[in-house]
Chain A
């Protein structure tokens, strides 16, 4: 088979979101039109301007959570050792592990897939307030090994690539590595990169996706000072494409996929869930803190993805928008979608699960399986009064029954890094 004939399909998916742990929880919740943005429980946020988030319903990540989600993939005592070393305090590490394990098992991966590559989107480094007090001498931060340092680390930080390291260790992955750190576009880029590796013959199997959590004092504090979250501490804080939208809701979670060459997948009996038909990245080259108002480069990303998929714009039956719920993003994205795709149904799940930052594109691609598995297009939680400045066919809070063959997902990162990914229905 020539390289040009290679196709990338998704054969396994795992997800962790505010709606619950597991992809079924996510899809069930979206099918039911649920929204899971709630008051923050994992730390005391009452004095913070931002007090709601799409928080995964797990108060503490620990060895028990990891054992429940990874099960037999772990060596005896491994989860406990990680917990003792402080490796599981960073929520995104545990969420990434859980999503990957679900995807790996769901795809029926085993020894034959150990040489898989890893393409993962990662967020910011995490730090722990409870460790800082002991590390502070007046206004001097005394770094050094401590209770959670594992003999070689710095105790108050969790390396951003820790999840990737643990994944490679647990699953024995030995192929290529791509760590995507393109901010909010990282998850979409990770999946696009995986598809590119598979179709050009650089890999047969890629574990791809992203994990992130900013539902912690540093993340919520930093975002609050930036002014990006909605000032309203209400469950409907994020209202994508709504006339009254006023900011995002911070979310957390992970989604991971087994991306595989289609013929290989079918030969080993794996069931393709969707085909990654097209993808493209572009850059705005406009401003650091705002998207291009005309959405031209976002439109270019979608256009190129459609072209790569050998489709026409009319073939796209649904768009899962980046749809942050911020005034500038939604208006610009809507213009781009309208210009290329016309009155295609559009929704954003960020009102339901929050903005997962580096993992946003990944969880939203997981949501894009809903049309293929249940003939439902996800709704846009809390969009009750569509903004005329967003001239698109926004799906309201309830999911829309429809059968479509191709869906497109957008992710846009800080400074104008854009990625569009198209999934196709498989026979």
Chain B
């Protein structure tokens, strides 16, 4: 089986920087973006580390409708489309958005909240503050606002869906490849954005033990025997997809994706991770793992994946460098894996010093490879999985 969708353009904003080549170089060098949370004072939180995107989005006329991560999503989508040279436009151009952050933001709701009486039946709630709500508050919080405004900016009139959740990027990729396959569009612009670096999310991840409570000096990598949880991260990433036959020499890589889930409230079960890649695994010996970074979970993942890939497959963990990226993870993985394969180099798992025993081979140093295909798998809550297969032409 060979994926039929070709990536012809890509761009991202990651905690390690902006340029694809530069960030890939840093991942291959084993760098990691984790640092004491630079976004807010997290000293009283269980998890005090984060991997945040440096800087701010470019000034935009859309800032009254779209928050920081959405603006970055729009930026990278525009850059990827420009880079691709894709011919699909207008009604032949589809737009597929993965919106990871299904979370309201309370900062701009404060004028409403501070005057409330804490009364669930909301007596006088309008006069106590709702009348002060910004008229665009609802639009500001709509899950598809970045998608809608981007479609206007680039004139995308073909298929379009916005997906949500911690595997939203994989959902968007899957929908885009299906639309290309069906022939209803010629070009699919797929973008996703998510941030786990916000107070509510960091709080929840820390309280549940999913995020690390370590200090930076003692932070252990995924698949390390001392692993203690993920580092919350954030990213915006975009790829342009075309049918492989149309892309020709412009194809940077071929990709297919899958999004699935089980009934778990926390991380997905290891069998769900393995099931997600089962019919994409033929001939693959390299996988970028879910990297949940908890010893029991990591061991279960490795055991389950080895049933599909064999015990000697190479195990990467891009998120050890970038932090956990939620709904943006799958698209970042697609770009990163394609870049690694194109360079013939596989990156080390950043910070891995004492790999836990078990099947698969977690990479502790950069290695040359002749592999031309790789899998990526990402895990999110509740019970969500994204999976993808990347090949270089």
CB distance from A186 to the nearest CB of B (A): 8
Q: Which of A134, A141, A182 contacts B147 (CB 8 A)?
A: A182
Complex Cα spacing A47 to B130, Å: 10
Contact A178 B149 (CB under 8 A): no
Instruction: Report yes or no: A177 in contact with B114, Cβ–Cβ below 8 A.
Output: no
* 5 nearest A-B pairs in the assembled complex, by CB-CB distance: A415-B148, A133-B118, A130-B120, A221-B130, A181-B143
The verdict on A168 contacting B383 (CB below 8 Å), with A141-B113, A217-B130 known, is yes
Contact yes or no, A282 B116, CB < 8 A: no
Interface membership of A172, Cβ < 8 A: yes
Q: Is A147 an interface residue (CB 8 A)?
A: no
Residue in A129, A168, A200 whose beta carbon sits within 8 Å of that of B261 in the complex = A168
Rounded to whole angstroms, the CA-CA distance of A122 and B139 in the bound complex is 16
Is the Cβ of A44 less than 8 Å from the Cβ of B122?
yes
State which of A222-230, A236-244, A379-387, A401-409 sits at the interface with chain B.
A222-230
> Residue A161 contacts which of B126, B138, B165, B264 (CB distance < 8 angstroms)?
B165
Chain A residues in 8 Å Cβ range of B159: 280-283
Contact of A226 among B116, B139, B207, B263 (CB under 8 A): B139
Given A180-B162, A283-B159, A417-B162, 13 further pairs, Cβ under 8 A: A132-B116, A136-B113, A143-B106, A169-B263, A174-B263, A181-B164, A182-B143, A189-B161, A200-B178, A225-B133, A225-B134, A415-B149, A415-B152
A283 touches B157 (CB 8 A): yes
**B88-110 interface mask toward A, CB cutoff 8 Å, 1 = contact, 0 = none?**
00010001000100111010011
Closest chain A residue, CB of each to CB of B167: A177
A297 interfacial contact with B, CB 8 Å: yes
Binds B, one of A19-27, A150-158, A253-261: A150-158
Complexed CA–CA distance, A203 and B83 (Å)? 35
Find chain B residues with CB under 8 A from A152 CB.
Answer: 204, 207-208
By the criterion CB–CB under 8 Å, are A177 and B145 in contact?
Answer: no
Residue count of chain A within 8 Å CB distance of chain B: 83
Asked whether, in the complex, the Cβ of B138 is within 8 Å of the Cβ of A413, the reply is no
The yes or no answer to A304 lying at the interface (CB within 8 A) is yes
Whole-angstrom distance from the CB of B19 to the nearest CB of chain A?
29
Task: Give a binary string over B161-187; 1 marks a CB under 8 Å from any A CB, 0 the rest.
Answer: 111110110010011001001101000
**Please, how many angstroms separate the alpha-carbon atoms of A170 and B131 in the complex?**
40
Q: A132-B118, A288-B139 are in contact. Are A118 and B261 (CB under 8 A)?
A: yes
CB pair B127–A175 under 8 Å, yes or no, is no
Indicate whether A159 sits within 8 Å of B263 (C-beta atoms), given known contacts A177-B171, A225-B137.
no
Contact partners of B178 in chain A: CB under 8 A: 196, 200, 202
Report the separation of the CA atoms of residues A297 and B95 in the bound assembly, to the nearest whole angstrom: 14
User: Knowing A178-B163, A281-B159 touch, does A193 contact B125 (C-beta < 8 A)?
Assistant: no
* A195-218 to B contact mask, C-beta < 8 Å, 1/0: 010001010000000000000010
Q: How far is the CB of B277 from chain A (nearest CB, A)?
A: 13
Q: By the criterion CB–CB under 8 Å, are B260 and A177 in contact? A: yes
A370 to B169, CA, bound (A): 37
Partner of A124, one of B112, B114, B141: B141
Asked if B124 lies at the interface with its beta carbon under 8 angstroms from chain A, I say yes
Please name the residue on chain B nearest to A162 by beta carbon: B382
Q: Return chain B residues, CB-CB under 8 Å to A127.
A: 104, 106, 109
Is the Cβ of A161 less than 8 Å from the Cβ of B164? yes
> Is B362 among interface residues, defined by CB-CB distance under 8 A?
no
Select B382's contact among A49, A130, A161, beta carbons within 8 Å: A161
Residue B341 is within 8 A (CB to CB) of chain A in the complex: no
The reply to whether A178 and B91 contact each other, CB–CB distance below 8 Å, is no
The listed residue (A182, A202, A285) touching B161 by CB distance below 8 A is: A182
Q: With A223-B138, A227-B135 given, is the CB distance from A284 to B130 under 8 Å?
A: no
Chain A residues numbered 21-64 whose CB sits less than 8 Å from any CB in chain B: 43-45, 47-49
Q: Least Cβ distance of A140 to chain B in Å?
A: 9
Tell me which of B102, B122, B137, B138 contacts A159 (CB under 8 A): B102
Cβ of A154 and Cβ of B203 under 8 Å apart? yes
The listed residue with most A CB atoms (<10 A of its CB), out of B120, B135, B136, B184, is: B120
A165 within 8 A of B: yes
Is A183 located at the chain interface by the 8 A CB criterion? yes
Bound together, the chains give a CA A262 to CA B302 distance in angstroms of 38
| Chain A residues within an 8 Å CB radius of B167 | 177
Contact indicator A128/B156 (Cβ below 8 Å): no
A47, B175: Cβ atoms closer than 8 Å: no
